[in-house]
């Protein structure tokens, strides 16, 4: 039975969806004003694995990942570049999709945009006012009355009394209480704005997710995910808004992935240790980045350094080398491997343990590969099936092994093949010095040769 650590109850719980056979899942997506960084990549990969595994277990999954396409950062960046905010967001939505596709992230069922849900946002704000959970200020802003929701803080574990300490109303705020937060912001000059009962303006960030998630999945749904940094105040505010408006429990299981650290320091632009996905993909293949992300349990911190990515490359090289040259085979029974893999994944999506099972499977493939090709091929098919639930090992082995970092000498595949043939010819003519020279030249260029009974194969180091 699948168990999930529920951040709402702070314990592992047996997963029982609200509707048998169906799963509804919402994950907070990107605010599209810049390129995806490693933190975004982790969210996308983690919940892509959740999505894949639920589907592999026979669930019909509705997976919603929103796009925030209007907020202060977007407006400021568009103004800096002198372009309409819609042009900026479209540029970075396309970039996000390119990065996600490269990382093997499946497209969600739907990707709602905040700007396309103004009617739902306005309707939810109106209901909150009607129910006494929100109020319109004289300046056209609308605020959520935090003290009107007695269970505020139940996700983050924060109490209103603790939050009150040190809280204050900022100059220019029209809120009644420093804990209250904006649902609607009155229009400022030269900013995008929409008509509302309280005057022209735009929504606050928190209300966007409440409106989009309940519109897509209903008043109550199974899983809500996102980064740990969103627990408070964003997700706490979503609960207050959604349950205040609908009167129904909002989410059954809350999941948050851990922070990303760079060389054991928190990732931060101010520290100069901030990496975009594209910067990392300049040095490593996308599957290596994905594998690296899965080597840590999703709830644990993920520490980025080149050693860990090099280890990911080494692991995938071992996997694809085992698969190299194997014919297509019928999936082996391999019940012990399947059982252990599912036990790992059923334990709150424990991907490090699941990867350990794949390593054991590779070890067995290598043990029998030379003596029992048919059985090795069957185990290879099983390896691909299990790896597929993690979004791994779906490439052609030759493509992966020859697709590593490009050599400083810019050697093309054809040039490498020609040099290998020249080495074969030199060895046949017993010109050992020439054969060694070619081998050393390739090795210096990062090309690793592997001589076997079926000839010489190569891969990029």
Which residues sit in the known binding site for Zn(2+)? 28, 209, 234, 238
Q: Which two tokens stand for residue 74?
A: 């977007």
The strand pairing partners of 61, in sequence order, are 23
Q: Burial level of 193, CB count in 10 A (0-12/13-18/19+)?
A: middle
CA separation for the pair 378, 315 (Å, rounded): 21
User: Which of 369, 337, 375 lies closest to 356 in space, CA to CA?
Assistant: 337
CA separation for the pair 281, 427 (Å, rounded): 38
**Phi, psi (rounded to 5 degrees) for 110:** -155, 150
User: Which of 212, 191, 200 lies closest to 123 in space, CA to CA?
Assistant: 212
Alpha helix (H) residue ranges in 57-182:
72-81, 85-102, 118-130, 160-164
DSSP string, 347-396: BT--HHHHHHHHHHHHHHHHHHTTT-HHHHHHHHHHHHHHHHTTT-S-S-
The answer for 450, left when phi > 0, alpha when psi is -120 to 50, beta otherwise, is: beta
Q: Is the dihedral of CA 238, 241, 244, 248 positive or negative?
A: negative
CA separation for the pair 319, 380 (Å, rounded): 10
Task: Point out the annotated binding site.
Answer: 28, 209, 234, 238, 269
Return the SS3 of 271: coil
Task: Point out the annotated binding site for ATP.
Answer: 269
């Amino acid at each position: 039975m699948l168990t999930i650590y529920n951040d709402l109850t702070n314990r592992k719980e047996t997963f029982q969806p609200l509707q048998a056979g169906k799963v509804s899942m919402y994950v907070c997506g990107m605010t599209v004003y810049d390129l995806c960084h490693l933190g975004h990549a982790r969210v996308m990969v983690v919940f892509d694995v959740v999505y894949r595994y639920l589907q592999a277990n026979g669930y019909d999954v509705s997976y919603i990942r929103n796009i925030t396409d209007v907020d202060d950062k977007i407006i400021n960046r568009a103004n800096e570049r002198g372009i309409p905010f819609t042009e900026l967001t479209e540029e970075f939505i396309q970039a996000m999709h390119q990065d996600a596709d490269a990382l093997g992230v499946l497209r969600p069922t739907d990707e709602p945009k905040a700007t396309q849900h103004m009617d739902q946002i306005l309707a939810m704000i109106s209901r909150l006012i009607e129910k006494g959970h929100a109020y319109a200020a004289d300046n056209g802003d609308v605020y959520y009355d935090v003290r009107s929701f007695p269970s505020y803080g139940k996700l983050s574990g924060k109490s209103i009394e603790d939050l009150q300490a040190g809280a204050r109303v900022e100059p220019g705020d029209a809120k009644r209480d420093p804990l209250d937060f904006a649902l609607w912001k009155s229009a400022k000059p030269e900013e995008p704005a929409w008509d509302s009962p309280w005057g022209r303006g735009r929504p606050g960030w928190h209300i966007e997710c409440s409106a989009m998630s309940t519109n897509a999945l209903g008043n109550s749904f199974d899983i809500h995910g996102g980064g740990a940094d969103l627990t408070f105040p964003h997700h706490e505010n979503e609960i207050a808004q959604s349950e205040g408006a609908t009167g129904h429990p909002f989410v059954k299981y809350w999941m948050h992935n851990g922070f990303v650290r760079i060389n054991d320091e928190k990732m931060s632009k101010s520290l100069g240790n901030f990496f975009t996905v594209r910067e990392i993909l300049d040095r490593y293949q996308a599957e290596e980045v994905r594998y690296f992300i899965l080597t840590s349990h999703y709830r644990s911190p993920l520490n980025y350094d080149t050693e860990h990515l090099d280890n990911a490359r080494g692991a995938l090289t071992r996997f694809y080398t085992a698969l190299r040259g194997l014919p297509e085979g019928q999936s082996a029974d391999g019940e012990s491997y399947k059982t252990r893999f599912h036990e790992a994944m059923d334990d709150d999506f424990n991907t490090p343990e699941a990867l350990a099972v794949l390593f054991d499977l590779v070890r067995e493939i290598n043990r029998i590969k030379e003596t029992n090709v048919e059985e090795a091929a069957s185990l290879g098919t099983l390896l691909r099936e299990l790896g597929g639930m993690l979004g791994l090992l779906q490439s052609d082995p030759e493509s992966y092994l020859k697709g590593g970092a490009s050599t400083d000498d810019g050697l093309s595949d054809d040039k490498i093949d020609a040099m290998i043939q020249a080495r074969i010819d030199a060895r046949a003519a017993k010109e050992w010095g020439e054969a060694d020279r070619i081998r050393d030249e390739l090795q210096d260029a990062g090309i690793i040769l592997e001589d076997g009974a079926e000839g010489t194969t190569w891969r990029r180091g």
